[in-house]
Amino acid sequence: MTDVVVREPAGRMSPVRSLTPPLVAFAALIAITVLLAQLFPPLNDWPDGWVVPIRYWVTEAFAWLGEVAKPITRAIAWVLAKPLAFVEAVLYRGVPDWKVQPLPWVAVVAGVAILGHWIAGRRLAWFSGICTAYLAVFGLWPESMQTLSIVLVTVPLAAATGLGLGIWATRSARAERILNSVFDLMQATPHMAYLAPVVVLFGFGQVPAMLATLVFALPPMARCTILGIKTVPSDILEAGRMSGCTPRQLLWKVEIPAAQRTLLLGLNQVVMQTLAMVVIASLVGASGLGQKLLFSLQQLQIGKAVEQGIAITLIAIVLDRLTHAAMNRVPQRHPAGTPWYRRHAHLVTFLAVAAVAILLSRVIPGIGVLPRDMTLSFGAPINDGVRWISKNLFAYVKPVRDTLTIWLLLPIRDFFLWLPWPTFIGTLALIGWYLGGVRLALVPVALMGFIMIAGFWTPLMLTVYLVTCCTILAVLIGVPTGIWASRHPRGARVVNTVCDTLQTFPSFIYLIPVIMLFQTSDLSNVIAMLAYATVPAVRFTYLGMTLVPQATIEAAIASGTTPRQRLWKVEMPIAFPEILLGINQTIMMALAMVAITALIGSRDLGQEIYKALPGADTGRGLIAGIGIAFIGITADRLIGAWAKRRKRELGLV
């Protein structure tokens, strides 16, 4: 009988054969590096004598800069303090020397409601007004207005700066490359890392907090400006040129209006980033809700922390809804000859309400500032509930926490701490070489190597351990949830609503239920990170599954596939690039939470940032923050290359 030989089509290789060389290379790399690490101890633990004192150089450089640039920093602080003082005077401080009272809380609540009505109608007006009234009714009005003052001053400055940088990038390819690299690093660096340099240069207080917030919040606006201007249709640009527009007229009268929706999306992101950073900036003396929430968490006053956390969340939700609605607002047209008070009816209404409220507040003090005995609080029942949980449920929660920590988390942590540095860095480099060649292979070598020689290897590995645990759990939860949502339209609406809500919460909020149930432990850190970071895994999985062409699904059904076969052999492979992007974003959000979870105890890079703040140890905090950013950049480059590779294999690019 003649043997039949089945050959692969020319130019193609079976998946098993294509994976064999990389797997052999990985196995050989791990075996060789582990063996060498046992023979040569410096390859296992980077010797302390080989650590380059970059941390101390940076600290000394910032201390020198702080002295040399003191006149400049004082001038900047003085300039920024003026608009901040004005907004604070209007909202909550008043001008005591002139016996001028701030706006009554009734006027502010009415103003927010009127603004909501002007943007989107009655529903948003009621929602915005009720949420704002919560701040006064629950006795958090002064602190809320302090926080809102920083937001109202910082957002225009960050938006204008981001708009200018974005316009510059669209006019210069070199500027765009440089700015994109800088923005990648800025957005991957955790919030808290911005605080140490600002403290050295500007000290503690409201203005330094505002500056740190400004720097952190401007990249989204710049990126959206670049995207918006670059995606203006060419026929619109050509029409503008044919109309005789100069370059400046083309920018302000054609490109900017055409990119309005994208620019408003950038403004929305600036608002949310500003509010998130303002809360964290309480660590450098910013007064407001963040400071009260931080104090409540440190004192384990869970009831007060919940009240304050809800206040922060409501401010975030209202600002998010207002800016989102503004993107879809259709300007109202008035017939020629309409009186100005009708054309500006909402403004006139607000001025009338404010005037009446100011007059009545002189007679009825409760209209100006709600007395303490008229405010509400549900902190005591929550504290009672926490005590009940600690007394009755913690006996059941503690064994679960300890079991997961001892048998799952600690072995993973010990594995990462055991890994020799050549094994870890070499594995990442080999993955980079396989996915993108030598240039991509050098990225983890340079970034991880820098953190190692700077003396932060152990905190780096502890950070990688926490982020890895969080990412694995987020994938196990988020991917099935996204698949289920893609199969059930009603369920998708619920899932998307939950995701919207979770993304609106400031990161501080996730610490409250974790402390209530699990106290402080590695499991608490992972769960807090998980609640914040699972959303992208859900969203991108849902997006990828809904983008699978209907014709492909129908072809699979016609081929006789079962639903399970169709999922694993057709839909999942096509949706895989989007799922990878979701995992990428999950890692970035988990890294953003690392610095926040340091507040409830950890030994990772986030804790290094937190410890650097009281002593203004700029080098320690900055390098730890850069280390977190370098983990994110490495993951982003590797996963992005993997996603592009899969898209090429599927013929999607």
> Confidence class of residue 465 from pLDDT cuts 50, 70 and 90?
very high
Under a CB-based contact definition with an 8 Å cutoff, are residues 153 and 84 in contact? yes
Each residue of 67-111: pLDDT tens digit? 888 788 888 888 888 898 899 888 888 887 787 888 899 999 999
CATH class for domain 397-653?
mainly alpha
> Confidence class of residue 427 from pLDDT cuts 50, 70 and 90?
very high
pTM, two decimal places:
0.80
Please state the length of the chain. Answer: 653
Task: Tokens for 546, please give them.
Answer: 């809904």
pLDDT at 480 over 70: yes
Q: Is 597 exposed, middle or buried (0-12, 13-18, 19+ CB in 10 A)?
A: buried
**pLDDT given for residue 19 in this prediction:** 56
Each residue of 493-504: pLDDT tens digit? 898 888 877 776
**pLDDT given for residue 92 in this prediction:** 84
C-alpha separations of 571 from 381, 480, 502, 544 in Å: 49, 13, 27, 9
Across 545-561, average pLDDT: 85
- Give the whole-angstrom CA distance, residue 227 versus residue 176: 11
> Confidence class of residue 370 from pLDDT cuts 50, 70 and 90?
confident
C-alpha separations of 389 from 299, 386, 395, 396 in Å: 18, 5, 9, 10
- Residue 100 has φ and ψ, to the nearest 5°, of -100, 125
Task: Tokens for 61, please give them.
Answer: 């450089």
**Radius of gyration, alpha carbons of the chain:** 28
State the residue for tokens 């009554």.
104
- Residue 44 has φ and ψ, to the nearest 5°, of -95, -55
State the residue for tokens 């003085």.
78
Give percent of the chain above pLDDT 90.
Answer: 20
**pLDDT given for residue 18 in this prediction:** 55
**pLDDT given for residue 550 in this prediction:** 85
